[in-house]
Amino acid sequence: MTATNESLVLASTLNCKRSQILGTQVISQVTAARLGLVDRVWVDLEQRQVLVLGVRKEAFSGGSQLLELSQVSALGKDAILVSSDEVFDQLDLDGLDKVVGSDVVTESGVRLGKVKDFVFNATTGVISDLVLSTLGIPLISGYLDTTYLMSVGDMLSVGSRRIIAASGAEARLVIEQENLLRRWFNVGVAPWEAAAQPALPSATFQEAIEEEAFDEGYEEEYEEDYPEEAYIPEDGYSEPPSPEPGIDYAEEYQEAYADPELVPPEPQSAGDEDPNLDTHPN
């Protein structure tokens, strides 16, 4: 057995991703003819299994031919070997799905993202994990859109472009590749992860606290360096007397310049009679 064949047989027992076999050439073991390139992967989601590969003769022309995964002799990194040139067939794709782009939501209503890729056994086609991301676009690298692995054991049901996962599946997701913004600046954190993180303190409130603490510390330091001294008057100096209460000049003026004719006489008692007054007329 050659080294190439050994690597192909070894690869056929390992798990691989959908993205890894797209564009891989299909070669006949009998004639060594190049039969085409893999351009699609069809999945039975109910069985959690890859069943059919779409093979296009040319990268950008011609229609796809259908190849059952069971017809593959070896699936390697650079080539997929089949037993003969006559392995393609007219297959019924009813009930099969491409999976990529499907929304994944838990039964409690938490959106986990979209399917970007999946991991399956190269021999049996059994899917072990779904690769999720926010956008679910295969061409966007994980360095721009964080990817997570979700076990198919958390899948409860499947529908039209939607997968329902078990409640709490978000806590069991494993980060496969972290985007750079998240790694460096904590930007792009998934909604369920953001909810679990403590809220950051308000920058304005924190600023006010720091400023107040600085002012208090500065005042204490100033008082220690420049204590307030009691005032001691110099020799021969006395403090000015305190001002006396104000004088009511209006009252003094009235007393000094009052007209005596205008002042009414004081009433006299019955015993105080004027001796010049004749009280007995003739």
Which has the higher per-residue pLDDT, 13 or 125? 125
| Cβ atoms 179, 186 nearer than 8 A | no
User: How large is the average pLDDT for residues 61-84?
Assistant: 89
Indicate the pLDDT class of residue 1, thresholds 50, 70 and 90: very low
User: DSSP of 68-87, one letter per residue?
Assistant: EGGGEEEE-SSEEEES-S--
SS3 116: strand
Pick the range with the lowest mean pLDDT from 49-58, 72-81, 158-167, 193-202: 193-202
| pLDDT for residue 261 is more than 90 | no
CA 281 to chain centre: 122
The Cα–Cα gap between 25 and 41 comes to: 14
Q: With pLDDT > 70 as the criterion, what percentage of the chain qualifies?
A: 60
SS3 173: coil
Q: Return the pLDDT at 8.
A: 44
Q: Return the pLDDT at 237.
A: 58
| pLDDT for residue 280 is more than 80 | no
User: How large is the average pLDDT for residues 240-266?
Assistant: 61
User: DSSP of 224-253, one letter per residue?
Assistant: HHSPPPPP-PPTT--PPPPPPPPP-HHHHH
SS3 191: helix
Indicate the pLDDT class of residue 149, thresholds 50, 70 and 90: very high
Which has the higher per-residue pLDDT, 224 or 22? 22
| pLDDT for residue 203 is more than 80 | no
The Cα–Cα gap between 26 and 37 comes to: 6
C-beta atoms surrounding 64 within 10 Å: 17
Q: Return the pLDDT at 129.
A: 97
Q: Return the pLDDT at 141.
A: 83
- CA quadruple 214, 216, 222, 224: dihedral positive or negative? negative
State the residue for tokens 């070669």: 27
Provide the H-helix boundaries in 71-202.
180-185, 191-196
Which has the higher per-residue pLDDT, 195 or 220? 220
Residue of 216, 215, 197, 213 lying closest to 205 (CA atoms):
213
Angle at 48 between CA 44 and CA 53, to 5 degrees: 50
Average pLDDT score, the chain:
78
